[in-house]
Amino acid sequence: MSEHGTILQLKKCVLLQDMNSDELDAVFRLTESEDFAAGEEILTEGLAYQSLWIIVTGRCEVVKSGNGLEPNRLAELEEGAVFGEMSFFEKAPHSASVRALSDVSTMRLTRRRFEDLRKNCPAAADKIACNLVNILSTRLRRMDEWTCQLVEGNCSERQQGEWQEFRAKLYSGLQF
């Protein structure tokens, strides 16, 4: 794909929403292109990289090792998908691996480069962070609904109590 075509594609990525062209330029100047051959592992479960990747072309799979069983495919990611976002701000081991299903071309923004972006163009850094908040709060709300339904419909009274206790801790954890 031409560089111009790539930029047009990337503008549609959820992570880069609401940016003007100066902000997009500031982001693109700090990202690195990284290409992977089909089958290559891009991100390894258990390790803690702090980077955001956007898939520019190709497809990836998210796989989780199954305690000695066959690895379990969690999801398939297409062009424009983002990964690495769960451990970008807080250094935490990735809970799954990401592997290229076809030849894959990515744009990578490391945490260090994001810190440069915060200094050079805080408005662009702010928009990336707000887009991430949107993604994560939608995901959290949906997961919460799913689990509530499961627990209400299928679980023992003891488990219902445990779920309520867990949620109470989770949602009151925002403290001094």
Check binding of 27 to a second copy (CB under 8 A). no
Minimum distance from CB of 39 to a second copy (Å)? 19
Residues near a second copy (CB under 8 A), total: 66
Closest CA to 26 of 147, 128, 103: 128
Minimum distance from CB of 160 to a second copy (Å)? 11
Give DSSP secondary structure letters for 60-125: EEEEEEETTEEEEEEEEE-TT-EESGGGSSS----SSEEEESS-EEEEEEEHHHHHHHHHH-HHHH
Q: Which is nearer to a second copy, 37 or 74 (CB)?
A: 74
Check binding of 123 to a second copy (CB under 8 A). yes
Interaction mask 148-167, a second copy, x per CB under 8 A: --xx--xx---x---xx-xx
Place of tokens 């163009």: 121
Alpha-carbon span 8 to 29, nearest angstrom: 15
Contact residue for a second copy among 7, 24, 86, 101 (CB under 8 A): 86
Which residues touch 74 (CB under 8 Å, ≥6 apart)? 62, 63, 64, 96
Q: Which of residues 88-107 bind a second copy (CB under 8 A)?
A: 88-90, 92, 95
Minimum distance from CB of 71 to a second copy (Å)? 13
Minimum distance from CB of 147 to a second copy (Å)? 5
Is there a contact between 59 and 101 (Cβ–Cβ < 8 Å)?
Answer: yes
Q: Which is nearer to a second copy, 38 or 136 (CB)?
A: 136
Alpha-carbon span 59 to 69, nearest angstrom: 24
Q: Which is nearer to a second copy, 37 or 130 (CB)?
A: 130
Cβ neighbours, 10 Å, residue 170: 11
Which residues of the chain form contacts with a second copy (CB under 8 A)? 9, 12-15, 62, 72-83, 85-90, 92, 95, 118, 122-123, 125-126, 129-130, 132-144, 146-147, 150-151, 154-155, 159, 163-164, 166-176
